[in-house]
Structure 1
């Protein structure tokens, strides 16, 4: 993979894109802009959002006067998206880059900061001459897409009134807010006033994964982060995440990742 297949730039002025450009675009809008126009339709007053734009889509960003840095544009070639590490991601399987719909992801505050940090590192790396630069870029892109897949609130701007999409959006919000309370799909189905069977049907249709996998994904993201970046004991982490015992947390973590929490904790400290 050549690094010239990845381009990134800060959004500091109005930007237009026509379909003769070969790259796919990830548009991260941090501070509010006047709007983004997609195939002639204007979506006004957008902020703290990520758009995934197919190369065939016509789009234009309308920036507010005096804006200094409202986000990033990340352009990727098909070669990059076909990299083995990225091509296996669920976010690729659901074809976020497509002409059928234009997904809009609203970011939670914590993920917004991590997203910005990742994009800033990509920007820095592309301008450097470091060894193993390509591997580092792919790793950062993989992390970026995993966060988008696991932490962003899925809500298509084209299909925002689709009932099942709204249910999945609400489900992911509830899991994010109540993961330490319950790890059971039935709990969230009850909160949504629908049956577990129907919730499973909605998640499968919209995301092509099981409802339980959303819960597992959230638990793994939070447990890995706590193990790597906090001084909490494994026992404390297990109880904070809602596990009945530290032993059950270790069992869950090993089943899902292939190694015990203590192994990850040691690898970070070594």
Structure 2
């Protein structure tokens, strides 16, 4: 599985050359680069945000453990270090869609990294990665994305970053008004929530069976006792339970989105012996990784047949 630490590296992977000076933002019209040809992006993750919306697209997308198709005007979000894959099937004649890639730095004058997740909770890991839109909502978003795309490709001199930052903020605020707040996770109402968020962010970046609670506490410069206290207060779960959840979350995503051997999945998760991973997974999920993958594949075939 590939990990992209910069927007430029990701663009290069999908065949797009970037000549922009600003490395924290990019927007492109999907039809300009993929056309009518099938295109498949196998499992990957990256350090920035990815936001995609289009009209008249038939694209199969996997984000984390969620699988969906974009035919029904779906707006999708990919947060940093989420495991993702997608396959372009076809476009209608008058289809139009955009992908927006950005680092929080692009709007840092307005929001800190923590404020970004607080103000726009739909960007959090546990929020739904996709939302269906009404006719009026989809046209409003497309119009706004068209404007941003036009501004992005114009030479606005030293004010260009400010203009793009402003438009991106408007886009996020518009989405905020659309997305049902009940599907998002409100965070940072207190210090415990903030610590829990930082902990979860570390898990997203570096979840590994070998890493114990003390490892993450040291990364946050706090004691294991305080980390456990904060996580318990914020989630009503133990910190160790949250680590287990993230291990299983990543395991399921790898099993869902790749054909990697169970041995390779185990290695990526930090298990020395494949048998230890199989036993761990079965204890948490109730079935073996092979059985889980088989059930998932059968379900996907069912969806494809009846779609």
Tell me the TM-score normalised to structure 2 length. 0.43
Tell me the TM-score normalised to structure 1 length. 0.48
